[in-house]
Protein backbone atom coordinates (compact mmCIF):
# COMPACT_ATOMS: atom_id res chain seq x y z
CA UNK A 1 0.00 0.00 0.00
CA UNK A 2 2.77 2.43 0.97
CA UNK A 3 4.77 1.45 -2.13
CA UNK A 4 1.71 2.14 -4.32
CA UNK A 5 1.35 5.61 -2.82
CA UNK A 6 5.03 6.31 -3.40
CA UNK A 7 4.73 5.31 -7.05
CA UNK A 8 1.64 7.46 -7.49
CA UNK A 9 3.46 10.50 -6.09
CA UNK A 10 6.66 9.97 -8.09
CA UNK A 11 7.26 11.45 -11.54
CA UNK A 12 7.27 8.38 -13.72
CA UNK A 13 9.05 8.64 -17.07
CA UNK A 14 7.37 7.57 -20.31
CA UNK A 15 7.95 4.04 -21.56
CA UNK A 16 10.57 3.81 -24.28
CA UNK A 17 11.70 1.22 -26.83
CA UNK A 18 15.17 1.74 -28.28
CA UNK A 19 15.91 0.16 -31.64
CA UNK A 20 19.27 1.25 -32.99
CA UNK A 21 21.57 -0.42 -35.54
CA UNK A 22 23.56 -3.40 -34.30
CA UNK A 23 26.74 -1.57 -35.28
CA UNK A 24 27.47 2.13 -35.77
CA UNK A 25 30.76 3.40 -37.13
CA UNK A 26 31.20 7.17 -37.04
CA UNK A 27 34.17 9.06 -38.44
CA UNK A 28 35.97 10.31 -41.49
CA UNK A 29 36.83 7.59 -44.01
CA UNK A 30 34.45 5.13 -42.38
CA UNK A 31 33.19 4.33 -45.89
CA UNK A 32 36.41 2.37 -46.36
CA UNK A 33 35.73 0.57 -43.10
CA UNK A 34 32.36 -0.54 -44.54
CA UNK A 35 34.04 -2.24 -47.49
CA UNK A 36 36.50 -4.01 -45.19
CA UNK A 37 33.75 -5.16 -42.84
CA UNK A 38 31.45 -6.32 -45.62
CA UNK A 39 34.00 -8.88 -46.82
CA UNK A 40 33.57 -10.64 -43.46
CA UNK A 41 29.76 -10.95 -43.65
CA UNK A 42 29.80 -13.97 -45.95
CA UNK A 43 27.44 -12.23 -48.39
CA UNK A 44 28.18 -12.62 -52.09
CA UNK A 45 25.51 -10.60 -53.94
CA UNK A 46 25.48 -6.95 -52.87
CA UNK A 47 22.79 -4.63 -54.19
CA UNK A 48 23.78 -0.96 -53.80
CA UNK A 49 21.38 1.96 -54.01
CA UNK A 50 23.15 5.27 -54.45
CA UNK A 51 23.05 8.54 -56.41
CA UNK A 52 24.78 9.26 -59.70
CA UNK A 53 27.13 11.94 -58.37
CA UNK A 54 28.60 9.41 -55.94
CA UNK A 55 29.22 6.57 -58.38
CA UNK A 56 32.73 7.64 -59.26
CA UNK A 57 33.63 8.18 -55.60
CA UNK A 58 32.49 4.72 -54.47
CA UNK A 59 33.03 2.49 -57.52
CA UNK A 60 36.76 2.02 -56.98
CA UNK A 61 36.26 0.86 -53.42
CA UNK A 62 33.37 -1.43 -54.35
CA UNK A 63 35.52 -2.89 -57.15
CA UNK A 64 37.73 -4.36 -54.44
CA UNK A 65 34.76 -6.49 -53.40
CA UNK A 66 34.61 -7.91 -56.92
CA UNK A 67 38.23 -8.98 -56.53
CA UNK A 68 37.31 -11.22 -53.60
CA UNK A 69 34.37 -12.82 -55.40
CA UNK A 70 31.52 -10.53 -54.35
CA UNK A 71 29.13 -9.46 -57.11
CA UNK A 72 27.98 -5.84 -56.84
CA UNK A 73 25.05 -4.23 -58.68
CA UNK A 74 24.59 -0.45 -58.42
CA UNK A 75 21.31 1.39 -58.88
CA UNK A 76 21.18 5.20 -58.99
CA UNK A 77 17.55 5.74 -60.07
CA UNK A 78 16.28 7.52 -56.94
CA UNK A 79 16.32 11.25 -57.67
CA UNK A 80 13.63 12.74 -55.44
CA UNK A 81 11.55 11.70 -52.46
CA UNK A 82 10.61 8.08 -53.26
CA UNK A 83 7.29 6.77 -54.50
CA UNK A 84 6.12 3.26 -53.74
CA UNK A 85 6.31 2.59 -57.49
CA UNK A 86 10.03 3.48 -57.40
CA UNK A 87 10.48 0.97 -54.60
CA UNK A 88 8.58 -1.75 -56.50
CA UNK A 89 10.59 -1.22 -59.68
CA UNK A 90 13.94 -1.34 -57.89
CA UNK A 91 12.83 -4.28 -55.72
CA UNK A 92 12.31 -6.33 -58.89
CA UNK A 93 15.86 -5.52 -59.99
CA UNK A 94 17.24 -6.58 -56.60
CA UNK A 95 15.26 -9.84 -56.74
CA UNK A 96 16.38 -10.59 -60.30
CA UNK A 97 19.96 -10.06 -59.11
CA UNK A 98 19.26 -12.52 -56.27
CA UNK A 99 20.76 -10.09 -53.76
CA UNK A 100 21.67 -11.43 -50.34
CA UNK A 101 22.60 -7.98 -49.00
CA UNK A 102 21.50 -4.38 -49.53
CA UNK A 103 23.29 -1.13 -48.84
CA UNK A 104 22.04 2.42 -49.27
CA UNK A 105 24.62 5.16 -49.90
CA UNK A 106 22.95 8.54 -50.28
CA UNK A 107 20.36 10.84 -48.78
CA UNK A 108 17.22 9.88 -46.94
CA UNK A 109 15.29 8.88 -50.06
CA UNK A 110 17.98 6.37 -51.04
CA UNK A 111 18.30 5.01 -47.52
CA UNK A 112 14.53 4.64 -47.02
CA UNK A 113 14.21 2.74 -50.30
CA UNK A 114 17.17 0.48 -49.51
CA UNK A 115 15.71 -0.35 -46.10
CA UNK A 116 12.30 -1.32 -47.44
CA UNK A 117 13.83 -3.41 -50.23
CA UNK A 118 15.93 -5.33 -47.71
CA UNK A 119 12.81 -5.96 -45.60
CA UNK A 120 10.75 -7.33 -48.50
CA UNK A 121 13.18 -8.91 -50.97
CA UNK A 122 12.44 -12.44 -49.75
CA UNK A 123 8.70 -12.22 -49.14
CA UNK A 124 5.59 -11.42 -51.13
CA UNK A 125 4.02 -8.68 -49.01
CA UNK A 126 2.37 -6.02 -51.18
CA UNK A 127 2.49 -2.24 -50.80
CA UNK A 128 -1.14 -2.15 -49.70
CA UNK A 129 -0.40 -4.81 -47.07
CA UNK A 130 2.65 -2.87 -45.87
CA UNK A 131 0.58 0.31 -45.50
CA UNK A 132 -2.11 -1.57 -43.59
CA UNK A 133 0.23 -3.52 -41.31
CA UNK A 134 3.93 -2.66 -40.93
CA UNK A 135 4.42 -5.76 -38.78
CA UNK A 136 4.33 -7.89 -41.94
CA UNK A 137 7.84 -6.74 -42.79
CA UNK A 138 10.51 -9.36 -42.19
CA UNK A 139 14.18 -9.13 -43.08
CA UNK A 140 16.65 -11.95 -43.57
CA UNK A 141 19.29 -10.20 -45.68
CA UNK A 142 22.15 -8.00 -44.52
CA UNK A 143 21.39 -4.25 -44.52
CA UNK A 144 23.74 -1.30 -44.15
CA UNK A 145 23.29 2.43 -44.64
CA UNK A 146 25.82 5.19 -45.32
CA UNK A 147 24.29 8.70 -45.30
CA UNK A 148 25.71 11.37 -47.57
CA UNK A 149 23.65 14.19 -46.07
CA UNK A 150 23.45 15.18 -42.43
CA UNK A 151 19.71 15.36 -42.18
CA UNK A 152 17.12 12.62 -42.28
CA UNK A 153 18.56 10.28 -39.65
CA UNK A 154 17.16 7.33 -41.60
CA UNK A 155 20.37 5.38 -41.10
CA UNK A 156 19.64 5.26 -37.35
CA UNK A 157 15.88 4.77 -37.29
CA UNK A 158 13.23 2.09 -37.93
CA UNK A 159 11.37 4.55 -40.19
CA UNK A 160 11.00 4.93 -43.97
CA UNK A 161 8.87 7.57 -45.68
CA UNK A 162 7.22 7.17 -49.11
CA UNK A 163 4.80 9.26 -51.12
CA UNK A 164 1.57 7.49 -52.06
CA UNK A 165 -0.07 9.12 -55.12
CA UNK A 166 -3.38 7.33 -54.47
CA UNK A 167 -3.93 9.05 -51.14
CA UNK A 168 -1.73 12.05 -52.00
CA UNK A 169 -0.06 11.51 -48.63
CA UNK A 170 3.36 10.67 -47.32
CA UNK A 171 3.21 7.27 -45.66
CA UNK A 172 5.44 6.33 -42.78
CA UNK A 173 6.56 2.70 -42.68
CA UNK A 174 7.91 1.82 -39.23
CA UNK A 175 9.32 -1.58 -38.32
CA UNK A 176 12.27 -3.22 -36.51
CA UNK A 177 12.99 -4.84 -39.89
CA UNK A 178 14.08 -1.39 -41.12
CA UNK A 179 16.81 -1.04 -38.50
CA UNK A 180 20.18 -1.66 -40.14
CA UNK A 181 22.71 -4.31 -39.26
CA UNK A 182 25.36 -1.65 -39.63
CA UNK A 183 25.47 2.10 -40.17
CA UNK A 184 28.57 3.96 -41.29
CA UNK A 185 28.50 7.74 -40.92
CA UNK A 186 31.37 9.29 -42.84
CA UNK A 187 31.29 13.12 -42.68
CA UNK A 188 33.64 13.23 -45.67
CA UNK A 189 30.82 11.85 -47.82
CA UNK A 190 28.90 15.08 -47.13
CA UNK A 191 31.63 17.26 -48.64
CA UNK A 192 30.39 18.42 -52.02
CA UNK A 193 26.76 18.54 -50.95
CA UNK A 194 25.47 21.90 -52.27
CA UNK A 195 24.96 24.67 -49.69
CA UNK A 196 21.17 24.70 -50.18
CA UNK A 197 20.95 20.96 -49.52
CA UNK A 198 23.33 21.26 -46.56
CA UNK A 199 21.04 23.89 -45.04
CA UNK A 200 17.74 22.10 -45.70
CA UNK A 201 18.88 18.70 -44.49
CA UNK A 202 20.63 20.24 -41.49
CA UNK A 203 17.46 22.07 -40.47
CA UNK A 204 15.54 18.80 -40.89
CA UNK A 205 17.96 17.17 -38.43
CA UNK A 206 17.60 20.14 -36.08
CA UNK A 207 13.82 19.73 -36.24
CA UNK A 208 14.15 16.04 -35.34
CA UNK A 209 16.06 17.00 -32.22
CA UNK A 210 13.73 19.82 -31.17
CA UNK A 211 10.57 17.78 -31.76
CA UNK A 212 11.99 14.81 -29.86
CA UNK A 213 12.97 17.00 -26.90
CA UNK A 214 9.71 18.96 -26.75
CA UNK A 215 7.42 15.98 -27.11
CA UNK A 216 4.50 14.50 -25.20
CA UNK A 217 6.43 11.21 -25.02
CA UNK A 218 9.86 12.68 -24.30
CA UNK A 219 12.25 10.56 -22.25
CA UNK A 220 15.45 11.37 -20.34
CA UNK A 221 17.44 9.12 -22.67
CA UNK A 222 16.38 10.91 -25.84
CA UNK A 223 16.46 14.31 -24.07
CA UNK A 224 20.22 13.94 -23.68
CA UNK A 225 20.68 13.04 -27.33
CA UNK A 226 18.29 15.70 -28.59
CA UNK A 227 19.83 18.58 -26.62
CA UNK A 228 23.33 17.65 -27.71
CA UNK A 229 22.09 17.35 -31.30
CA UNK A 230 20.53 20.82 -31.09
CA UNK A 231 23.82 22.20 -29.78
CA UNK A 232 25.96 20.54 -32.45
CA UNK A 233 23.72 21.46 -35.38
CA UNK A 234 22.63 24.89 -34.20
CA UNK A 235 26.19 26.06 -33.62
CA UNK A 236 27.87 24.47 -36.65
CA UNK A 237 25.38 24.35 -39.54
CA UNK A 238 26.15 27.94 -40.59
CA UNK A 239 29.84 27.07 -40.80
CA UNK A 240 29.11 24.00 -42.93
CA UNK A 241 26.86 26.10 -45.18
CA UNK A 242 29.36 28.94 -45.57
CA UNK A 243 32.29 26.60 -46.26
CA UNK A 244 31.32 23.17 -47.49
CA UNK A 245 34.90 21.95 -47.05
CA UNK A 246 34.98 22.75 -43.33
CA UNK A 247 35.29 19.13 -42.26
CA UNK A 248 35.16 19.94 -38.54
CA UNK A 249 31.77 21.64 -38.99
CA UNK A 250 30.57 18.83 -41.26
CA UNK A 251 31.57 16.29 -38.63
CA UNK A 252 29.69 18.08 -35.84
CA UNK A 253 26.52 18.48 -37.94
CA UNK A 254 26.71 14.80 -38.94
CA UNK A 255 27.01 13.79 -35.29
CA UNK A 256 24.04 15.99 -34.39
CA UNK A 257 22.05 14.42 -37.20
CA UNK A 258 22.95 10.97 -35.88
CA UNK A 259 21.63 11.92 -32.44
CA UNK A 260 18.42 13.18 -34.03
CA UNK A 261 18.03 9.91 -35.92
CA UNK A 262 18.45 7.98 -32.68
CA UNK A 263 15.43 9.85 -31.31
CA UNK A 264 13.16 8.99 -34.25
CA UNK A 265 12.39 5.45 -33.20
CA UNK A 266 11.83 5.87 -29.46
CA UNK A 267 10.04 9.25 -29.58
CA UNK A 268 9.58 10.45 -33.17
CA UNK A 269 8.60 13.87 -34.44
CA UNK A 270 5.40 15.88 -34.00
CA UNK A 271 3.41 18.76 -35.49
CA UNK A 272 6.16 20.37 -37.57
CA UNK A 273 6.55 17.22 -39.63
CA UNK A 274 2.81 16.56 -39.81
CA UNK A 275 2.12 20.07 -41.09
CA UNK A 276 5.09 19.92 -43.45
CA UNK A 277 3.94 16.75 -45.22
CA UNK A 278 1.21 18.45 -47.33
CA UNK A 279 3.79 20.94 -48.63
CA UNK A 280 5.85 18.05 -49.95
CA UNK A 281 3.01 15.90 -51.26
CA UNK A 282 1.09 18.62 -53.11
CA UNK A 283 3.69 21.27 -53.89
CA UNK A 284 6.81 19.07 -54.04
CA UNK A 285 8.62 21.31 -51.59
CA UNK A 286 11.77 19.65 -50.26
CA UNK A 287 11.17 18.03 -46.88
CA UNK A 288 13.86 20.03 -45.08
CA UNK A 289 12.59 23.32 -46.51
CA UNK A 290 9.02 22.53 -45.42
CA UNK A 291 10.16 21.72 -41.90
CA UNK A 292 12.37 24.79 -41.67
CA UNK A 293 9.56 27.11 -42.75
CA UNK A 294 7.06 25.75 -40.23
CA UNK A 295 9.39 25.12 -37.28
CA UNK A 296 9.32 28.64 -35.74
CA UNK A 297 5.53 28.91 -36.09
CA UNK A 298 4.89 25.55 -34.41
CA UNK A 299 7.34 26.44 -31.64
CA UNK A 300 5.43 29.69 -31.03
CA UNK A 301 2.13 27.80 -30.97
CA UNK A 302 3.52 25.22 -28.50
CA UNK A 303 5.37 27.70 -26.30
CA UNK A 304 2.76 28.07 -23.56
CA UNK A 305 2.87 24.30 -22.91
CA UNK A 306 6.66 23.94 -22.77
CA UNK A 307 8.31 27.24 -21.81
CA UNK A 308 11.14 25.67 -19.81
CA UNK A 309 11.97 23.12 -22.47
CA UNK A 310 12.00 25.71 -25.25
CA UNK A 311 14.25 27.87 -23.06
CA UNK A 312 16.65 24.92 -22.91
CA UNK A 313 16.45 24.67 -26.71
CA UNK A 314 17.44 28.33 -26.92
CA UNK A 315 20.40 27.76 -24.60
CA UNK A 316 21.52 24.75 -26.64
CA UNK A 317 21.37 26.93 -29.75
CA UNK A 318 23.75 29.33 -28.02
CA UNK A 319 21.53 32.28 -27.11
CA UNK A 320 22.10 34.20 -23.88
CA UNK A 321 19.56 33.92 -21.07
CA UNK A 322 16.75 36.44 -21.21
CA UNK A 323 15.00 37.89 -18.19
CA UNK A 324 13.03 34.67 -17.80
CA UNK A 325 12.52 31.30 -19.52
CA UNK A 326 9.93 32.67 -21.91
CA UNK A 327 12.25 35.38 -23.19
CA UNK A 328 15.07 32.83 -23.56
CA UNK A 329 12.73 30.56 -25.52
CA UNK A 330 11.71 33.43 -27.80
CA UNK A 331 15.37 34.29 -28.40
CA UNK A 332 15.90 30.66 -29.45
CA UNK A 333 13.03 30.88 -31.94
CA UNK A 334 14.53 34.11 -33.33
CA UNK A 335 17.91 32.33 -33.63
CA UNK A 336 16.26 29.72 -35.85
CA UNK A 337 14.72 32.48 -37.96
CA UNK A 338 18.16 34.08 -38.32
CA UNK A 339 19.55 30.79 -39.64
CA UNK A 340 16.65 30.45 -42.09
CA UNK A 341 17.31 33.98 -43.40
CA UNK A 342 21.05 33.33 -43.69
CA UNK A 343 20.43 30.16 -45.68
CA UNK A 344 17.99 31.89 -48.02
CA UNK A 345 15.22 29.40 -47.18
CA UNK A 346 11.66 30.68 -47.64
CA UNK A 347 10.19 31.84 -44.35
CA UNK A 348 6.57 32.17 -45.51
CA UNK A 349 4.15 30.08 -47.56
CA UNK A 350 3.66 33.05 -49.86
CA UNK A 351 7.34 32.84 -50.83
CA UNK A 352 6.56 29.34 -52.14
CA UNK A 353 3.57 30.66 -54.09
CA UNK A 354 1.13 28.78 -51.86
CA UNK A 355 -2.04 30.90 -51.65
CA UNK A 356 -4.19 31.17 -48.52
CA UNK A 357 -7.06 29.54 -50.37
CA UNK A 358 -5.12 26.24 -50.17
CA UNK A 359 -4.66 26.35 -46.41
CA UNK A 360 -7.85 24.57 -45.40
CA UNK A 361 -7.13 21.64 -47.71
CA UNK A 362 -3.56 21.41 -46.37
CA UNK A 363 -4.90 21.43 -42.83
CA UNK A 364 -7.26 18.55 -43.60
CA UNK A 365 -4.33 16.58 -45.04
CA UNK A 366 -2.12 17.32 -42.06
CA UNK A 367 -4.81 16.15 -39.63
CA UNK A 368 -4.55 12.67 -41.17
CA UNK A 369 -1.00 12.37 -39.78
CA UNK A 370 -2.17 11.48 -36.29
CA UNK A 371 0.83 9.19 -35.73
CA UNK A 372 2.85 12.43 -35.39
CA UNK A 373 0.25 14.90 -34.15
CA UNK A 374 -0.40 12.72 -31.09
CA UNK A 375 3.19 13.45 -30.02
CA UNK A 376 2.76 17.22 -29.98
CA UNK A 377 2.92 18.84 -26.54
CA UNK A 378 -0.11 21.00 -27.33
CA UNK A 379 -3.23 19.56 -28.93
CA UNK A 380 -3.75 20.47 -32.57
CA UNK A 381 -7.27 20.51 -33.99
CA UNK A 382 -8.21 21.34 -37.56
CA UNK A 383 -8.73 24.97 -36.60
CA UNK A 384 -5.36 25.05 -34.85
CA UNK A 385 -3.66 23.69 -37.99
CA UNK A 386 -5.37 26.36 -40.08
CA UNK A 387 -4.22 28.99 -37.56
CA UNK A 388 -0.57 27.89 -37.80
CA UNK A 389 -0.66 27.84 -41.61
CA UNK A 390 -2.23 31.32 -41.61
CA UNK A 391 0.51 32.62 -39.32
CA UNK A 392 3.04 31.13 -41.77
CA UNK A 393 1.32 32.49 -44.88
Query: What domains does the chain contain, in order, with CATH numbers?
Result: 23-190 (3.40.50.1970), 195-391 (1.20.1090.10)
Half-sphere exposure for 24 (CA within 13 Å, toward CB):
17
Three-state DSSP state, 80: coil
Q: What pLDDT is recorded for position 12?
A: 73
DSSP 270-290: -HHHHHHHHHHHHH---HHHH
Per-residue confidence at 54, pLDDT binned at 50, 70, 90? confident
Pairing of strands 23-26, 182-185: parallel
Residue 5 has pLDDT above 60, yes or no: no
Over residues 122-126, mean pLDDT: 89
d(CA 40, CA 349) in angstroms, rounded, equals: 50
Taking only the tens place, the pLDDT of each residue in 133-150 is: 988 899 999 999 999 999
Q: How far apart are CA 308 and CA 232, in angstroms?
A: 20
Distance of CA 40 to the CA centre of its chain: 29
How sure is the predictor about 180, in pLDDT bands with cuts at 50, 70 and 90? very high
Residues 303-328 pLDDT 10s: 999 999 999 999 999 999 999 999 99
The predicted-structure confidence for 212-247, as pLDDT tens digits, reads as follows: 999 999 999 999 999 999 999 999 999 999 999 999
Cα torsion 211, 216, 217, 223: sign: positive
Using DSSP's 3-state secondary structure scheme, residue 175 falls into: coil
Nearest by Cα to 207 from 282, 284, 299: 299
Q: Which distant-in-sequence residues (6+ apart) come within 8 Å of 195 by Cβ?
A: 241, 242, 244, 343
pTM: 0.93
Q: What percent of the chain has pLDDT over 70?
A: 97
* 169-174 and 159-164 strand pairing: antiparallel
State the chain's mean pLDDT as an integer: 93
Q: Give first-to-last CA distance, the chain, whole Å.
A: 55
Q: Binning pLDDT at 50, 70 and 90, where does residue 81 land?
A: confident
Which positions ≥6 away from 336 have C-beta within 8 Å?
A: 206, 295, 296, 299, 317
Q: How far apart are CA 337 and CA 358, in angstroms?
A: 24
How would you classify the pairing of strands 101-106 and 142-147? parallel
CB contact set of 279 (below 8 Å; sequence gap of 6+): 285, 289, 290, 293, 294, 352, 354, 362
* pLDDT tens digits, 358-383: 999 999 999 999 999 999 999 999 99
Amino acid sequence: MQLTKLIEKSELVNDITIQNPSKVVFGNKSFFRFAEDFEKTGCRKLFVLTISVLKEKIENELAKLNEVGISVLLNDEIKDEPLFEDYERILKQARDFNADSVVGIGGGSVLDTAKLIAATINNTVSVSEIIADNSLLKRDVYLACLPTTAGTGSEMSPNAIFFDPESNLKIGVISPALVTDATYIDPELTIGVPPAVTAATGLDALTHCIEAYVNKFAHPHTDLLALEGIKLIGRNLKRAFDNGKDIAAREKVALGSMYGGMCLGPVNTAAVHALAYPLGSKYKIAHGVSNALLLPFVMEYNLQEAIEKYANVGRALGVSDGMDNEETALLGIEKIRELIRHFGIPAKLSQLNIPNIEIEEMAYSAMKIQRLLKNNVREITLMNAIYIYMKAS
